[in-house]
Amino acid sequence: MPVAAALASWHASGLQLWPAWRRLEHWEDCAIECIGMDLGAHLLVLWAIYTFGHGCDPLLAELVDEDAQPRFGDEILEDVARLAFSLGASWGASLTHPAV
């Protein structure tokens, strides 16, 4: 599907992401330079802690090993996490109101 056709079907809220998407490469390079190539794995661990880390949820131990590495995922999932993080950074940088 061509990009223009895909974007035409988005509502105004989705279209707000397009400028951030166009700056994505800069923010992904910045994140990898600052945090390293393990960024995707770190994001998976942070997701697991955020989702299951409240209290003593045994599922957290199934998802994160003793060395704080994810027991789940693959390169594609890590790439999606890295991309989402970078898109969020790019979008956040474009906001004009203070962070909450």
Residue 55 has a pLDDT of 65
54 lies in some domain: yes
93 in Cβ contact with 27 (< 8 Å): yes
Cα–Cα distance, 48 to 64 (Å, whole number): 7
48 contact partners, CB below 8 Å, separation of at least 6: 60, 63, 64, 70, 72
Which SS3 state, helix, strand or coil, does residue 99 take? coil
41 lies in some domain: yes
Residue 17 has a pLDDT of 81
70 lies in some domain: yes
What range does the domain containing 49 cover? 29-85
Q: Give me the residues paired with residue 64 across strands.
A: 70
For residue 77 the two structure tokens come to 């999932």
19 lies in some domain: no
61 lies in some domain: yes
Residue 84 has a pLDDT of 94
46 lies in some domain: yes
Quote the Cα angle for 62-32-66, to 5°. 20
Low-confidence ranges of the chain (pLDDT < 70): 1, 3-5, 7-8, 55-56, 96-100
What is the number of domains present in the chain? 1
Residue with tokens 């299951």: 52
17 lies in some domain: no
71 lies in some domain: yes
